[in-house]
Chain A
């Protein structure tokens, strides 16, 4: 038969329910199950068990317990009298990624700071984005203000290699049937855009490419495995539930981390000037492929493309109006400068961990959840795109600043980082 004893098969079946089984073991298990009705019945019974557990009522702590606990925590102390000082980036425990606690090298001499949190060490920084490549196909239907006559359907193929290579092939069709084909290629500080066959390239601020956080990072940050999913294309899957600002999504992930999004949920976004008022009617991703090699040729920019003048102009940090009060310790300043129309950029980096500061909102593709927040007591706006890193925008002085990081920072850590960089300590 298959070489598996019944006992081992049942052990494997149990591990599979928990999503802890590798591909080879899954194949061996399925081979055994297809030939052994008793074990197959056991396998099915395991899933019934999960549903019984879900029916168990549970006691919850009283409503105010977490807040009462927080109030008992000692307030953090920050030394006074700083102007430009080395500062440590807030660490956060994101559900997928944890940043190790190691102090880095100060960008400028200053009074040592009692570390509240620190930047990741180099090795961790390099591994921060657990997902390093993404290929996705998706269809997004958007209906501005619920009006079917204005419905737009977008079909996309996306290739992305962390952190700054991106290729998007997009076909956009409106309700009247008019369609537009767009290709975007981004690599480091070059961007190429081709619309209906006509392409041009320009130099852009170095930094993050627009679809950097693939969905499985979103799965681990925002969601947890909730049990076995259905078999999809012959592959057993684990079901994850995600939440993006109150909208529930379901993803099914198999052992090779191919994921298919369940397409029946709709995501409703509103309340923000950047995208108007949108009702995203339905969203289907046909395939999402993670950490598979992508040929660099995908990101080649045609040499004969028209070069658009202007573009990124490197200037010292001190010349920019977005200069922070304090720089993240342990991170290297990779770029500073501006573009025409006053768009300024700073980029701090350590391995795959980047902190991007801009005077303008980040380019975004796909749905983005937006909500008001506070940054050191000042009003700000938090943006969490489904396919992008979170960012926070606020106005520490006279101009608005947007802080974006590639790591999976929880929103409160992101706002703390922004406050640390731009606001005077008490």
Chain B
């Protein structure tokens, strides 16, 4: 039997996990740190931590529609961000700017003006949400996480996710209506 080189992580499942989940984790981290290069570093650190902890991952997805891997990774990312803030003495982000919900800011002012009025009200309303509610909403609507995964990511009960999303949508609908 010919010997074949092994130990190549590229053939392993975790490489696939990294590829598939880098965008979601990056968005999640960016919304918390507001700073691209730092978000990239912390995204990498999230996956390294997840790698070390991979055997402790207990996925349960009896009725869910998505992978609970995403919820687990986001929960790790939240810890990574917290630890980094503590290490560097940075204060938690209080002011929400567009970076905080990963919308590029290098667009032209005129682009913004050409935007639909409803869209403008929507963006303003998103900024005005509490970080927790904005996170819930984007994780659900944009990243497609299930209630269970969002609960895991944010460390709150599923009921809180459910009522939080309902309240947030109510608020956004009213804001968009004007």
Are the C-beta atoms of B44 and A426 separated by less than 8 Å? no
Q: Which residues of B contact A325 (CB under 8 A)?
A: 1
Q: Which of A45, A378, A410 contacts B177 (CB 8 A)?
A: A45
How far, in Å, is B91 (CB) from chain A's closest CB?
Answer: 23
How far, in Å, is B117 (CB) from chain A's closest CB?
Answer: 12
B93 contacts chain A at the CB level, 8 A cutoff? no
Of A57-65, A139-147, A275-283, the stretch lying at the interface with chain B is A57-65
Q: Which residues of A contact B15 (CB under 8 A)?
A: 70, 73, 412
How far, in Å, is B21 (CB) from chain A's closest CB?
Answer: 9
Are the C-beta atoms of B1 and A69 separated by less than 8 Å? no
Interface residues of A in 35-63 (CB under 8 A from B): 42, 45-46, 48-50, 52-53, 55-62
B119 contacts chain A at the CB level, 8 A cutoff? yes
Nearest to B162 among chain A residues (CB) is A15
Are the C-beta atoms of B102 and A59 separated by less than 8 Å? yes
Are the C-beta atoms of A58 and B103 separated by less than 8 Å? yes
B128 contacts chain A at the CB level, 8 A cutoff? no
Interface residues of B in 40-74 (CB under 8 A from A): 40, 43-44, 47-48, 51, 55, 57-62, 65-69
Are the C-beta atoms of B144 and A376 separated by less than 8 Å? no
Q: How far is the CA of A121 from the CA of B1 in the complex (A)?
A: 32
Q: Which of A20, A67, A96, A396 contacts B147 (CB 8 A)?
A: A20
A14 contacts chain B at the CB level, 8 A cutoff? yes
Q: Which residues of B contact A19 (CB under 8 A)?
A: 65
How far, in Å, is A56 (CB) from chain B's closest CB?
Answer: 6
Q: Which residues of A contact B138 (CB under 8 A)?
A: 53
Of B40, B47, B67, most buried by chain A (CB within 10 Å of CB) is: B67
Q: Which residues of A contact B62 (CB under 8 A)?
A: 127, 130
**Interface residues on chain B, size class:** 35 or more
Are the C-beta atoms of B144 and A224 separated by less than 8 Å? yes
Secondary structure type dominating chain B contacts: helix
Q: How far is the CA of A93 from the CA of B39 in the complex (A)?
A: 25
How far, in Å, is A414 (CB) from chain B's closest CB?
Answer: 10
A384 contacts chain B at the CB level, 8 A cutoff? no
Q: Which of A13, A61, A100 contacts B58 (CB 8 A)?
A: A100
Are the C-beta atoms of A426 and B104 separated by less than 8 Å? no
Are the C-beta atoms of B169 and A14 separated by less than 8 Å? yes
Q: Which residues of B contact A426 (CB under 8 A)?
A: 3-7
B83 contacts chain A at the CB level, 8 A cutoff? no
Q: Which of B5, B69, B119, B177 contacts A93 (CB 8 A)?
A: B69
Q: Which residues of A contact B39 (CB under 8 A)?
A: 61
Of A75-83, A105-113, A180-188, A189-197, the stretch lying at the interface with chain B is A75-83
Q: Which residues of A contact B68 (CB under 8 A)?
A: 98
Q: How far is the CA of A202 from the CA of B61 in the complex (A)?
A: 39
B80 contacts chain A at the CB level, 8 A cutoff? no
Q: Which of A42, A53, A96, A424 contacts B4 (CB 8 A)?
A: A424
B85 contacts chain A at the CB level, 8 A cutoff? no
How far, in Å, is B8 (CB) from chain A's closest CB?
Answer: 7
Q: Which residues of B contact A397 (CB under 8 A)?
A: 1
Are the C-beta atoms of A56 and B3 separated by less than 8 Å? no
Per-residue CB contact flags for chain B residues 1-24 toward chain A (1 = under 8 Å, else 0) read: 111111111111111111100110
Are the C-beta atoms of B144 and A225 separated by less than 8 Å? yes
Interface residues of A in 387-404 (CB under 8 A from B): 396-397
Contacts A60-B23, A65-B26, A70-B10 hold; do A226 and B169 have CB atoms under 8 A apart? no
Q: Which of A13, A62, A117, A127 contacts B40 (CB 8 A)?
A: A62
Q: How far is the CA of A94 from the CA of B13 in the complex (A)?
A: 10
Are the C-beta atoms of B44 and A226 separated by less than 8 Å? no
Q: How far is the CA of A424 from the CA of B1 in the complex (A)?
A: 7
Are the C-beta atoms of B30 and A73 separated by less than 8 Å? no
Q: Which residues of B contact A57 (CB under 8 A)?
A: 103-104, 107
A327 contacts chain B at the CB level, 8 A cutoff? no
How far, in Å, is A394 (CB) from chain B's closest CB?
Answer: 11
Are the C-beta atoms of B55 and A92 separated by less than 8 Å? no
Are the C-beta atoms of A73 and B173 separated by less than 8 Å? no
Of B11, B36, B66, most buried by chain A (CB within 10 Å of CB) is: B11
Are the C-beta atoms of A73 and B9 separated by less than 8 Å? yes
How far, in Å, is A13 (CB) from chain B's closest CB?
Answer: 8
Are the C-beta atoms of A413 and B16 separated by less than 8 Å? yes
Q: Which of B40, B66, B101 contacts A65 (CB 8 A)?
A: B40
Q: Which residues of B contact A93 (CB under 8 A)?
A: 13, 17, 57, 59, 67, 69
Q: How far is the CA of A310 from the CA of B59 in the complex (A)?
A: 45
Are the C-beta atoms of A77 and B13 separated by less than 8 Å? no
Are the C-beta atoms of A396 and B22 separated by less than 8 Å? no
Nearest to A56 among chain B residues (CB) is B103
Of A149-157, A261-269, A361-369, A415-423, the stretch lying at the interface with chain B is A415-423
How far, in Å, is B96 (CB) from chain A's closest CB?
Answer: 14
Are the C-beta atoms of A73 and B51 separated by less than 8 Å? yes
- Known interface pairs A55-B119, A92-B13, A97-B61; 7 further A-B residue pairs with C-beta atoms within 8 A, sorted by A's residue number: A11-B162, A15-B166, A56-B123, A57-B107, A67-B19, A70-B15, A412-B12
Could you show 15 A-B contacts with beta carbons less than 8 Å apart? A11-B166, A46-B169, A46-B173, A50-B141, A58-B27, A65-B22, A65-B40, A73-B14, A98-B58, A98-B61, A117-B13, A130-B62, A412-B13, A416-B13, A426-B7
